[in-house]
């Protein structure tokens, strides 16, 4: 699901890259081939006047008319896609040709609206939008209190109350709040409602920051799609709960069904991202801008945080915040210390008695040797495992090293590169199977335990489990084996599928065999499946 932060980022991309005043020359896409083609053709010749986002909705304005876009589960947007040849085969739902730019929407729902109605809707609800800088926590609290008889899992997903909240934010916010998803609003005190709204806003901003900087969000999950609680390591309960039966993940040990037993002051917290966004520096876990290393604008030397002038050229430290995001003015120390991908090449300045030099850390590693290499099976297995876990990443340093490095920034980066090449070697010595069960078959080429995957492609095999090589895509072999060969046959003489009980009760989490046909065409075959080694529980399959 493309939740509020993803939609907000799409709006920012359009706002920054598409200039206003361009004329809409042509509209293409799969929607124009249907009976509603005349609805979109009336936009031809109109001028693009702006874009707004509200929760999971995006509005593009063309004079008196507007396009309302909802990205659904897997929707996406691309600007000038001709620059990306790998996407040439994708068919957009709507392709908007402007004077100088092209905007394409994929796997999305697009509707025609009046600009005036869209602007009034955005203006009326912007204070409730979890992703908006104009978000008002007091108005959000009042909106939640009016839903006194509804469960929290339904209130958080109601886009009329909390625009932008999706299933990921819902599950993680309820965990941070310490409440069971089935708790009703009327059971909460005013202080607990304030805490719930605050935790929802906090995780939404964390979601936004990770998506904007391409940092992995899953590392911050405590319950969502996890088998164990990220706090107490208790087994996660998976069920369908609420009016719409949405997938819900929660920890029965950390999340209480009785709100009176929840002490907000003793709950484990992440960072106070609400204060972080509002420039309130009251949390010790938030690092101020002056507490990080800074680079001289003249000679590019990296200086220590306490230095007021450059150590090399004595240039004063620049003043002001260069962060472009409207949400961020500080840096988070925990749980994210760097919201960015590892660089393939890292340059660090180094100061010595003869002047300033630059250390260049480059990725000059080669891919693992092929299977037919003369190495022994044990060594080839270790190399392939090390390649999978990133052992060969950042292993070469070009330049001259000396203890007279310029600042602490060099020390931190040097420690990072060292840890990559030392700690992970120790990990490979006692972990021979990664994301694979002990009884999983081994691939024929590498003799390594295979991983269990699921068929997502539409067809008669959708939902079936199979084993494949566990190495990365560029090095894996063509090993393939169905994982359901031991499954029984249903009354249609077809192989059964294994599903999981998602209803709350004594059988929650148990696996069972059932007919593989679609609902309405299934036979009455049913058999419990014991979860032995090698059988994984796939909620929602």
Residue whose tokens read 């014991």:
530
- Please state whether 456 falls in left (phi above 0), alpha (psi between -120 and 50) or beta: alpha
CA separation, residue 3 to residues 157, 170, 181, 240 (Å): 10, 11, 19, 19
Taking alpha carbons only, the member of 189, 207, 202, 164 closest to residue 264 is 189
Distance CA 362, CA 342 (A): 11
CA atoms 179, 180, 181, 182: torsion sign: negative
Cβ-Cβ contacts under 8 Å for 511 (sequence gap 6 or more): 498, 499, 500, 501, 528, 529, 530, 531, 535, 537
187: phi then psi, degrees, rounded to nearest 5: -85, -10
DSSP H/E element including 198: helix 190-212
**CB-based burial, 170-192: b 16+ in 10 Å, e otherwise:** bbbbbbbbbbbbbbebebbeeeb
Q: CA 112, 117, 119, 121 torsion: positive or negative?
A: negative
CB contact at 8 A, 152 and 165: no
Asked if 103 is an active-site residue, the reply is no
Q: Which helix (H) or strand (E) holds 94?
A: strand 94-97
Determine the Cα–Cα distance for residues 200 and 152; give it in Å rounded to an integer.
12
**Contact between residue 248 and residue 181 where contact means Cβ atoms under 8 Å apart:** yes
- As a three-state string, the secondary structure of 307-376 is CCECCCCCCECCCCCCCCCCCCCCEECCCCCCCCCCCCEEEEEEEECCEEEEEEEECCCCCCCCCCCCCC
Please name the residue ranges forming H helices in 340-490.
Answer: 377-388, 408-428
How many residues are listed for the chain in this entry? 541
Which of 2, 110, 183, 451 is catalytic? The answer is 2
Residue 178 and residue 255 in contact, taking contact as beta carbons nearer than 8 Å: yes
Of 128, 125, 115, which is closest to residue 61 (Cα–Cα)? 115
Question: What are the tokens at 277?
Answer: 């966004």
Q: Which residues make beta-bridge pairs with 468?
A: 451, 480
Report yes or no: 470 and 434 within 8 Å, Cβ to Cβ: yes
Residues serving a catalytic function are 2
């Amino acid at each position: 699901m493309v939740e509020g932060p993803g939609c907000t980022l799409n709006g920012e991309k359009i706002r920054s890259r598409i200039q206003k005043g361009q004329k809409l020359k042509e509209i293409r896409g799969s929607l124009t081939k249907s009976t509603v083609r005349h609805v979109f053709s009336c936009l031809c010749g109109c001028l693009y006047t702006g874009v707004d986002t509200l929760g999971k909705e995006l509005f593009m304005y063309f004079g008196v008319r507007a396009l309302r876009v909802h990205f659904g589960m897997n929707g996406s947007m691309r600007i000038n896609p001709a620059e990306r040849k790998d996407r040439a085969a994708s068919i957009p739902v709507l392709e908007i040709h402007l004077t100088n730019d092209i905007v394409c929407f994929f796997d999305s729902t697009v509707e025609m609206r009046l600009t005036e109605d869209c602007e009034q809707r955005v203006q009326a609800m912007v204070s409730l939008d979890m992703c908006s800088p104009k978000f008002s926590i007091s108005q959000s609290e009042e909106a939640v209190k009016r839903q006194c008889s509804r469960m929290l899992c339904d209130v958080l997903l109601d886009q009329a109350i909390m625009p932008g909240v999706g299933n990921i934010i819902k599950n993680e916010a309820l965990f941070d709040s310490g409440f069971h998803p089935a708790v009703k609003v009327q059971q909460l005190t005013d202080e607990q409602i304030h805490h719930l709204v605050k935790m929802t806003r906090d995780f939404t901003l964390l979601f936004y920051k990770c998506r904007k900087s391409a940092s992995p969000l899953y590392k911050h999950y405590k319950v969502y799609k996890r088998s164990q609680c990220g706090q107490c390591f208790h087994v996660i309960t998976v069920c369908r709960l609420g009016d719409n039966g949405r997938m819900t993940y929660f920890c029965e040990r950390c999340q209480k069904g009785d709100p009176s037993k929840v002490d907000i002051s003793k709950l484990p917290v992440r960072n106070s991202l609400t204060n972080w966004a509002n420039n309130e520096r009251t949390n010790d876990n938030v690092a101020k801008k002056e507490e990080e290393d800074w680079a001289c604008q003249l000679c590019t030397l990296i200086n220590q945080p306490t230095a007021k002038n450059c150590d090399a050229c004595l240039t004063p430290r620049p003043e002001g915040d260069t962060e472009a995001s409207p949400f961020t003015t500080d840096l988070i120390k925990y749980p994210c210390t760097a919201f960015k991908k590892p660089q393939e090449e890292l340059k660090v300045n180094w100061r010595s008695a003869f002047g300033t030099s630059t250390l260049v850390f480059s990725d000059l590693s080669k891919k693992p040797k092929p299977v037919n290499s003369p190495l022994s099976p044990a060594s080839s297995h270790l190399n392939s495992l090390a390649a999978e876990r990133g052992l060969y990443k950042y292993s070469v340093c070009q330049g001259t090293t000396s203890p007279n490095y310029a600042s602490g920034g060099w020390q931190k980066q040097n420690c990072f590169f060292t840890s990559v090449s030392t700690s992970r070697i120790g990990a490979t010595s006692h972990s021979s199977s990664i994301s694979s069960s002990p009884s999983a078959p081994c691939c024929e080429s590498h003799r390594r335990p295979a991983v269990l995957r699921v068929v997502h492609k539409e067809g008669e095999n959708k939902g079936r489990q199979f084993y494949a090589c566990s190495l990365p895509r560029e090095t894996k072999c063509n090993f393939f084996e169905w994982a359901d060969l031991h499954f029984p046959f249903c009354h249609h003489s077809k192989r059964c599928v294994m599903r999981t009980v998602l209803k709350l009760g004594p059988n929650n989490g148990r696996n069972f065999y059932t007919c593989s046909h679609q609902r309405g065409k299934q036979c009455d075959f049913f058999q419990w499946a014991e979860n032995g080694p090698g059988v994984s529980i796939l909620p929602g399959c």
